Structure 1
Amino acid sequence: MNKHKQNYCRIYDDLARQAASWRSAWKELGAYLAPTRGFFEENFSNRGQKIDHRTLIDSDPLLAVEVLSAGMISGLTSPSRSWFALEITPAAAREVPGAREWTHSVKERLEEAFAGSNIYAALHGFYQEIAVFGTAAMLLEEDGKELLRARLFTAGEYVLGCDENGRIDRFGREFFLTPNQMAAKFGLENLPPQLLRAVQDGKDTSWHRVRHLILPNPACDVRYKNAAKMPYLSVYFTPQGEVLKKGGYWEFPVIAARWEVKTANDVYGKGPGWKCLGDVKMLQKMQKNKLVALDKITNPPMMVSSGVQGEVNLLPGGLTRYSGAADGAVKPAYQVNVDLSALESSIEKVKATIKAQFFADVFLMLSTQNFANMTAAEVAERHQEKMLVLGPVLERLKNELLDPLVERSYAILTRRGVLPPAPQALQGLSVGVSYISLIAQAQKATGLAALTQGIDFASRLAAVRPDVLNRVDFENALEQGLTMLGVPPGVLKSRAEVSAGADRAAGE
C-alpha cells in the first residue's frame, strides 16, 4: 500500500473515530424522533427499515419535528416566495446605472435554478435532520439537466471535520455499490482486480463498500484549471485504500450545519431532539401506562371460583355454569381505579413541552400571521420574544446553510454561463446576500418599529420647530424601512434616476 492510500484511509478513520462517540446518541434519537432516518452498522443498502411501534406509541413528537421542518421551509427558504436578495458592496456602487437590474436578474436566475432542482425537497429533510440529530449535511453538485443537484445524507452515514476556526471543511461517507455500478461510475480500468473479475464473471448481486472523502487540497494552485489543483480534493477509494477515482471542487461542496455547538471543538451539533428526548421517552411510557389502565378497566383480570364448570365465558351475553355456594363464581381480582382525566392532563403537559422545544408554536404562529394587516409595532411586540429565542440558531443557519447554499449555487451557475454578465462598472466588486424571508422579516420587525417611532418623534418636534426635519434623511429611512419589510430593492428608483426625473420636470 503506497503513501497516498495510507493517508486517505488514515484521514477517514480519524474522522470516523471522532463520530463514533456520537453514534449511540444519534441511534437513540432516531428511534424515538425519526424512525425512518439514520444509517448505522446494522443497516444495509437498499433494505427497508422496520419501525418499532412498541416504542413509538404516540406520534406527536414526530409531528412536532414535521412542524419545525415545514416551518423552516416556509419561513426561511420558501419555494413560493423570495427569501433572499443580492446586493453590490460597497453600498455606493448600488447607484451605478444597471446595478439594481443586474442583481435582480441574477437573483431570479438563481431562484429558477432552485425551483428546477431538488434543493427544496432536500432542504425539507435537512431541517428534519438538524432538528432531531443537531447536525445535517448535503452535497450540492452541478447537474447536466437541472444545473444544480442536492444529495441529502442522514446521521451515521457521513463523518465531518473542522479547520482551526471551527468551520467544517472535511467530509467523508461510506456507501454501497454493486460491481457493475462501480464500473459505470469509476470505469473498468480503475477497478481493483477482484471487482474487475466480478464484473467480467457477471457476479453483480453483491454489495461492496466505497468511501468518499472531500478535504482541502494541499496541492491547490488556482492558476491551473485541472481537478488535481482545485482548492478541494475529492477521492473515492475502497476500505482497503485502493483509489477508484480522484477529482476536485472549486468550493467546498458539502453544506453542513449545526443547530448549536457547546464548545468550539465540537464537530457535531445538538438540537431540540437532544433537549426533549427525556420528555419523549416519558410521553411514550405514560401513553403505554394509560393503555394498560384502559385495558384493565375494560377487560380486568378475573378471579374464578373452583365451583365453575368448564370454561369461563367473558363475552357479552356469555354463560358460565357454576355449582357451589352463593358467592360469585367469577369476579374481578381487584378494583381498578384510574383517574384518567388527571393522566390525560399530565400527558398534554408533556406534549406541550415537546412542541415548545421544537418551536411548533412559533412556526404555526408565523405561518398564519398576516403582516399586511398589522403595524410594525404589533409585529415586533408579538414576535420579539420568540425571535430572540431563535436568534442564535438562525444566525448559525445563515452562516452554515444559507450563505454556502447561495454562494455555491452562484459559483456553479457562473461557471455554466447562465447568469447575465455584470455591467462593466461593477466588474471586480463583491456581491453580498441579504435575507427577506418571513422569519427574517419578523426578526427585523423590532428595527422597523424603532425606525417608525423615530420618524414619528421627529414629526412631533417639527410641529414646534420645522427645521429639525432637515436633519432627517427621509430617502435613507424609506430604503431602510422597505428593506426591513422585505420589499425587493428593484421597487425603488436609484438616486440618479430620481435626480434625472427632477431635472426633466424642471426643464419642462
Structure 2
Amino acid sequence: MKNNIQPKTDYLRLYGELKSERATWLPAWKDLCAYLAPTRGFFDGQTPNQGRRLDHKTLLDSDPCLAVEILSAGMMSGLTSPARSWFDLGLAPRELSDAPGVREWLTEVKKRLEDAFAASNVYSTLHMFYQEIAVFGTAAFLLEEDPQKGIRCRPFTIGEYCLGTDSLGRVNRFGREFFLTVPQMREAFGLENLPPSLLVSSAPNRYHKIIHLILPNKDYSRECLDNRRMPYLSVYLTESGHLLRQSGYREFPVIAARWEVKHAADAYGRGPGWKCLGDVKMLQKMQKAKLVALDKNTNPPVMVSANVQGEVNLLPGGITRYNGTTDAAVKPAYQVQADLSSLENAISSVRSTVRAQFFADVFLMLSAQNYSNMTAAEVAERHQEKMLVLGPVLERLKNELLDPLIDRAFALLYRQGFLPPAPESVQGLKMKVEYVSLIARAQKAAGLSSLVQGINYAATLTAANPQVGERVDYNRALEEGLNALGVAPALLKNSEK
C-alpha cells in the first residue's frame, strides 16, 4: 500500500489553520474569563505552574460566579448525577431487549459502565465541563483508556485547544498545545524519539511546547488496523516540527460540545455567559459606584481652613488646632446624599437578570418553594415545569456529550475486557441508550398528562359504549406511562408471566 502520510510541515500548517480559525474567538473568551471565570482559561503563552493574578478591582461582586456554580451543579445533578442512574441500555427494536439472557447482559454492562465512571475522573471532569460550557459556550475533554480503571479523562480549559468541524458541523479535528520538561518528554515519548537539541539542553527542567493533533486519517484502512491506519490519526510534534509520536484512534476520542451554535459551520459555541456579559459588567460598575458612595458618606471630602496648624486629624476624637475665631477649621467640601436604597434595588435587579440567564433561579426556586400545602403529584409537576426550561440544551448535549461519552467508554472497556461478551443473538446490533436523568424524565413526563387525558376520555366514552374500551391497549399505555416517568422496565412482567 502506498504511504500517503503527510509530511511534518503539513501538520504544522494544519495546526496553524486551526489556530487562525480560533483567533477571532479569543478576545470574547478573555473577556468572559475576566468577569465570569477568573480561574479558568489558558491564554498568552502561559506555562504550567504559573499563577495568574486575579483582578479584584474588577470582580467586586461574586454573584455572577456563584450563578455559574449553581448552573454547573444543577446540570451535574440533572443530567449526569453520580448519585443516581442517568442512563439505561437497550436494543432496537425493544423486543430484542427481553430475549433470554439479553436483559441480564444489558444490566451487567450498565453496572460496569457506571462503576468505571465512578472509579475514574469522569464526574469531576464533567463538573468542570459544565462550568466551561456555561461561561464560554464550548467545552472539551479527552477520553482514553486506563489499564487500572478502564477509562480516564484529560480535561481542557478554553484557550488551550482548537476545534475543527466536518461538512455536517460535527467536531472531527482537534489540536492543542501543552508543555513538558525534558525528563517528562523522555518518559512520555522515549529517549530515541527526542530531538538531539533537547538532549544537550543545559536547563532540563525548562518547559517545552508540544503540539498534539487529532485528525481524520487519509490512510484509514479496514483491512489493516494498526495504530497508523485507524480512522483518526494522532501526532505529537515539537514546536519546530520534530515528530515525537504518531498513532491513531478507532473513535474520535475528544468529547467536545457547544451550548448553541449560530451557524452550522461554527466550530465553537455561545453560552449563557455570552448573553449576560453586559449585565455582569454593569453589575460590577454599579457595585463600584455603591462603594464610592458609601465611602463618601462615611469619609466625605473636606475643606481645610488656611489657619489650620499642622495636619488635619480625621480620626474619632482627633484634635486639629487652628488660629481663627469664625470660620470652621475643617468642613465637608459638599453634601453627599447618595440614594443607597435605590442603588441597592438596581443591583438586585441586575443580579436577578444574571441568575436567570444561568438558570440559577430554576434550580434554587425548587429548594426555596413552600410545599406544605401541595400534594406529591403537584410537587412533581412543579418540578417538571422548571426542568423543561433546559429541554433544548439537553438535546444538543445528548448528541455532543452524552452519546459520544457512552459510546467511547463502551468501546474502550469492551476492547480491554472489562465488559462481558455479548450474547450471540445480539452481536452486530446497535445498542440504544435511553436517558433517565432528572431533566430527561421531566421532558418525558410532560407528555404524560396528554396520555392520562386520553385514557380518561376513553373511559368516559366506555361508560356510554363498552365497545370503545376494547379498542384501548391498556398494557401499552402502562408501558408508555412508566417509560415517561423513568420507571425501570424490569418492574413489569413479560406477557407469558
Which TM-score tier does this pair reach, normalised by the shorter chain?
over 0.9
Give 1:408 shift. Answer: 0.5
Residue 401, structure 1, aligned to residue 404, structure 2? no
Match of 1:187 among 187, 190, 202: 190
CA contact (8 A) 2:388 2:442 kept: no
Give 1:260 shift. Answer: 0.3
Give the partner amino acid of 1:192.
Answer: P
Give the partner amino acid of 1:374.
Answer: A
Partners of 1:241 and 1:108 lie apart in 2 by 44
Aligned residue pair count? 490
387-396 vs 33-42, greater mean Cα deviation: 387-396
Give 1:381 shift. Answer: 6.0
In the alignment, structure 1 segments of 5+ residues that lack a partner are 502-508
What is the DSSP-based 3-state SS (H/G/I as helix, E as strand, rest coil) of the residue aligned with 1:482? helix
Identify the residue that residue 445 of structure 1 maps to in structure 2: 445
Identify the residue that residue 425 of structure 1 maps to in structure 2: 425
Deviation per CA, 1:325-372: give whole Å up to 9, x if none.
Answer: 3231111100001111000000000000000000001123457789x9
Identify the residue that residue 247 of structure 2 maps to in structure 1: 247
Partners of 1:462 and 1:365 lie apart in 2 by 42
Give the partner amino acid of 2:322.
Answer: Y
| TM-score using structure 2 length | 0.95
Identify the residue that residue 51 of structure 2 maps to in structure 1: 48
Q: Residues 325 and 368 (structure 1 numbering): CA distance in 2 closer, same or farther, change over 3 Å?
A: closer
Residue 110, structure 1, aligned to residue 113, structure 2? yes
What is the DSSP-based 3-state SS (H/G/I as helix, E as strand, rest coil) of the residue aligned with 1:58? coil
Give 1:43 shift. Answer: 2.0
Identify the residue that residue 504 of structure 1 maps to in structure 2: none
Matches within 5 A, 1:66-465: 66-198=69-201, 203-365=203-365, 374-375=376-377, 379-380=380-381, 383-384=384-385, 386-387=386-387, 389-465=389-465
Give 1:288 shift. Answer: 0.4
What is the DSSP-based 3-state SS (H/G/I as helix, E as strand, rest coil) of the residue aligned with 1:164? coil
Partners of 2:52 and 2:334 lie apart in 1 by 42
What is the DSSP-based 3-state SS (H/G/I as helix, E as strand, rest coil) of the residue aligned with 1:227? coil
Give 1:490 shift. Answer: 2.1
CA contact (8 A) 1:75 1:367 kept: no
61-70 vs 92-101, greater mean Cα deviation: 92-101
Segments of 4+ in structure 1 off by > 6 A? 367-370
What is the DSSP-based 3-state SS (H/G/I as helix, E as strand, rest coil) of the residue aligned with 1:209? strand
Partners of 1:179 and 1:103 lie apart in 2 by 46
Tell me how large the CA RMSD over aligned residues is.
1.8
Q: Residues 378 and 310 (structure 1 numbering): CA distance in 2 closer, same or farther, change over 3 Å?
A: closer
Deviation per CA, 1:450-482: give whole Å up to 9, x if none.
Answer: 112212222222222222222111221111111
Partners of 1:102 and 1:265 lie apart in 2 by 40
Partners of 1:366 and 1:414 lie apart in 2 by 40
Percent of aligned pairs sharing the same letter = 61
Residue 490, structure 1, aligned to residue 495, structure 2? no
Give 1:449 shift. Answer: 1.3
Partners of 1:179 and 1:459 lie apart in 2 by 77
Give 1:388 shift. Answer: 5.2
What is the DSSP-based 3-state SS (H/G/I as helix, E as strand, rest coil) of the residue aligned with 2:399? helix
Give the partner amino acid of 1:171.
Answer: F
Q: Residues 118 and 353 (structure 1 numbering): CA distance in 2 closer, same or farther, change over 3 Å?
A: same
What is the DSSP-based 3-state SS (H/G/I as helix, E as strand, rest coil) of the residue aligned with 2:228? helix
Give the partner amino acid of 2:22.
Answer: A
Identify the residue that residue 27 of structure 1 maps to in structure 2: 30
Q: Residues 128 and 323 (structure 1 numbering): CA distance in 2 closer, same or farther, change over 3 Å?
A: same
Match of 2:17 among 1, 14, 31: 14
Partners of 1:7 and 1:42 lie apart in 2 by 23
Partners of 2:484 and 2:450 lie apart in 1 by 11
Q: Residues 124 and 237 (structure 1 numbering): CA distance in 2 closer, same or farther, change over 3 Å?
A: same
Give the partner amino acid of 2:265.
Answer: N
CA contact (8 A) 1:75 1:366 kept: no
Partners of 2:462 and 2:287 lie apart in 1 by 65
Partners of 1:147 and 1:92 lie apart in 2 by 31
Partners of 2:150 and 2:375 lie apart in 1 by 39
Q: Residues 172 and 180 (structure 1 numbering): CA distance in 2 closer, same or farther, change over 3 Å?
A: same
In the alignment, structure 2 segments of 5+ residues that lack a partner are none
Give the partner amino acid of 1:477.
Answer: A
161-170 vs 220-229, greater mean Cα deviation: 220-229
Identify the residue that residue 60 of structure 1 maps to in structure 2: 63
CA contact (8 A) 1:259 1:397 kept: yes
What is the DSSP-based 3-state SS (H/G/I as helix, E as strand, rest coil) of the residue aligned with 1:228? coil
Partners of 1:218 and 1:65 lie apart in 2 by 41
